């Protein structure tokens, strides 16, 4: 039995199909990321798996339970941080842990859990005086009280500063090292790349790509390409005089040459040199997860590269 098995899951709010027939499974000990823009259906999906929402169709098994019908039993075995975790204002993280332990009727050492989520220093500060990162860590601490094998983290780092995000990542890595299965939603792609073994990219209620981040980039990315700053005439010249795949982006005055082999770059540059025309900065680059994400979740972009891109490799040279 896998920790999570979802098939044909559907949920609509009125006419809006929030989740439209998605299927996936999560393996034991895996960190599985649900990515997607706001409104893609990530939170609805995760809340259905947590047993907080009823589904309209499809099958969902979480640790073998139907999360809606057997929510009460399931909740004893999972840990959850909802989006924008909040707690009673005048309660400290330490008291919150004891409160949860009493509710779950388990014996825990609160200081151990506080240490695990790097929250020892703020153990006795009221929740309303904690920083955003400390609040999220309190949520993490509470999700660990019942020693769950499966954790759901819904946007655990949204709105946090870079340091606080990295601290949360540390905690999540520690949990993964202990063999916990973790479902994580995020719209930070670097977070997914840092933490997730596999991701599913959601858009408009569908899963548009799934796999490791490398697999997704390979399947949906454009591969490595050479970019030469130059004009359309040069692009025409390269097209005519090489067998390379050449595209011209008039807005950026950039010539894109797909590199099937590294050696293609030499052929392209030799031809450019031969043309005797002016050309400027060159670089080689590859689609990042960001590029693929933007391609997959929005309307097809006519002018490639208009989305914010992350430079992977770049040999800059000026002539």
Partner 1 sequence: MVSGKRILTDFKVFSRGYLRNKFGLFFGLVFPVILILIFGAIFAGGSTGKVNIYAQNLDTGPFASPQLDIASTFLATLNDSSTITVITVNPSENFSKYLSDHSVSDGIVIPADFSANYLAGQHVNVTVYGNPTSSTSGIVSGTVGGYANGFNLNYFQTKYKDTTPAIISITPATVNTQQTKYIDFLIPGLIGFSILTSPMFSLVNISSEYKKTKLFKQLSLTPLTKMEWLASKMIWYIVLTIAGFLLMVGVGVLAFGAHVAITPWLIPFLILGPMLFAALGMLVGTVTKNPETAGVIGNIVTFPMMFLAGTFFPISSMPQYLQTFAHVLPLFYVTEGLNNAMVYGNISGTIIDIAVLGVITLVIFILAVKLFKWRED
Tell me if 141 contacts partner 1 by CB under 8 A. no
**Cα–Cα distance measured from residue 76 to residue 79, given in angstroms and rounded to the nearest whole number:** 8
Residue with tokens 């063999």: 179
Tell me if 232 contacts partner 1 by CB under 8 A. no
Q: How far is the CB of 37 from partner 1 (least distance, A)?
A: 21
> Which secondary structure element, helix H or strand E, spans residue 236, and what is its range?
helix 232-241
Tell me if 110 contacts partner 1 by CB under 8 A. no
User: CB neighbours of 262 closer than 8 A, spacing ≥ 6?
Assistant: none
Of 17-25, 52-60, 130-138, 294-302, which segment contacts partner 1 by CB under 8 A?
52-60
Among 23, 25, 70, 83, binds partner 1 (CB under 8 A): 83
Tell me if 84 contacts partner 1 by CB under 8 A. yes
Among 21, 39, 58, 82, binds partner 1 (CB under 8 A): 82
Give the angle 182-184-185 at the CA atoms, nearest 5°.
165
Among 2, 10, 17, 99, binds partner 1 (CB under 8 A): 99
User: CB neighbours of 129 closer than 8 A, spacing ≥ 6?
Assistant: none
Count residues contacting partner 1 (CB under 8 A)? 31
User: CB neighbours of 94 closer than 8 A, spacing ≥ 6?
Assistant: 110, 111, 114, 123, 124
- Per-residue b/e over 270-292, b at no fewer than 16 CB within 10 Å? ebbeebeeebeebbbbbbbbbbb
* Nearest residue (CB) to partner 1, 84 versus 215: 84
Q: How far is the CB of 105 from partner 1 (least distance, A)?
A: 7
Long-range contacts of 233-238 (CB under 8 A, 24+ apart): 233/277, 234/272, 234/275, 234/277, 234/278, 234/279, 237/271, 237/272, 237/275, 237/277, 238/268, 238/271, 238/272, 238/275
Tell me if 102 contacts partner 1 by CB under 8 A. yes
Tell me if 87 contacts partner 1 by CB under 8 A. yes
Among 86, 147, 212, 219, binds partner 1 (CB under 8 A): 86
Q: How far is the CB of 127 from partner 1 (least distance, A)?
A: 9
Q: How far is the CB of 194 from partner 1 (least distance, A)?
A: 26
Among 1, 38, 89, 317, binds partner 1 (CB under 8 A): 89
* Nearest residue (CB) to partner 1, 146 versus 304: 146
User: CB neighbours of 169 closer than 8 A, spacing ≥ 6?
Assistant: 157, 191, 194, 195
Q: How far is the CB of 92 from partner 1 (least distance, A)?
A: 10
Tell me if 54 contacts partner 1 by CB under 8 A. yes
Tell me if 161 contacts partner 1 by CB under 8 A. no
Specify the 3-state DSSP secondary structure of 277.
Answer: coil
Tell me if 29 contacts partner 1 by CB under 8 A. no
Tell me if 51 contacts partner 1 by CB under 8 A. yes
Q: How far is the CB of 175 from partner 1 (least distance, A)?
A: 17
* Nearest residue (CB) to partner 1, 74 versus 289: 74
Tell me the Cα Rg of the chain: 24
Tell me if 93 contacts partner 1 by CB under 8 A. no
Contact indicator for 22, 6 with CB cutoff of 8 Å = yes
Question: Around 95, how many Cα atoms within 13 Å sit in the side-chain half-sphere?
Answer: 10
Question: Which residues of the shown chain bind partner 1 in the complex (CB under 8 A)?
Answer: 47, 50-54, 71-72, 75-76, 78, 80, 82-91, 95-96, 99-100, 102-105, 126
């Amino acid at each position: 039995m896998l920790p999570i098995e979802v098939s044909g899951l559907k949920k609509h709010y009125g006419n809006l199909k929030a989740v439209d027939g998605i299927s996936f499974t999560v393996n034991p000990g895996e960190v599985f990321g649900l990515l997607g823009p706001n409104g893609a259906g990530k939170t609805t999906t995760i809340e259905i798996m947590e047993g907080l929402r009823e589904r309209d169709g499809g099958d969902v098994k979480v640790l073998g339970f139907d999360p809606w019908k057997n929510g009460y039993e399931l909740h004893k075995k999972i840990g959850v941080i909802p989006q924008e975790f909040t707690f009673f204002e005048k309660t400290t993280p330490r008291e919150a842990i004891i409160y949860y332990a009493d509710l779950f009727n388990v014996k825990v050492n609160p200081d151990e859990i506080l240490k695990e989520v790097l929250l020892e220093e703020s153990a006795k500060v009221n929740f309303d005086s904690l920083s955003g990162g400390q609040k999220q860590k309190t949520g993490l601490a509470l999700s660990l009280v019942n020693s769950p094998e499966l954790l759901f983290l819904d946007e655990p780092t949204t709105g946090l500063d870079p340091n606080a995000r990295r601290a949360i990542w540390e905690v999540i890595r520690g949990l993964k090292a202990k063999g916990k299965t973790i479902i994580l939603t995020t719209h930070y792609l670097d977070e997914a790349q840092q933490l997730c073994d596999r991701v599913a990219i959601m858009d408009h209620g569908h899963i548009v790509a799934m796999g490791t981040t490398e697999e997704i980039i390979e399947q949906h990315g454009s591969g490595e390409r050479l970019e030469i700053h130059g004009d359309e005439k040069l692009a025409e010249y390269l097209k005519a005089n090489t067998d390379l795949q050449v595209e011209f982006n008039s807005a950026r005055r950039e010539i894109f040459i797909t590199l099937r082999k590294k050696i293609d770059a030499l052929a392209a540059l030799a031809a450019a040199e031969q043309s005797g025309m002016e050309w400027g900065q060159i670089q080689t680059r590859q689609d990042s997860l960001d590029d693929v994400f933007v391609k997959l979740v929005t309307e097809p972009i006519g002018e490639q590269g208009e989305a914010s891109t992350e430079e992977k490799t770049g040999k800059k040279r000026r002539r």
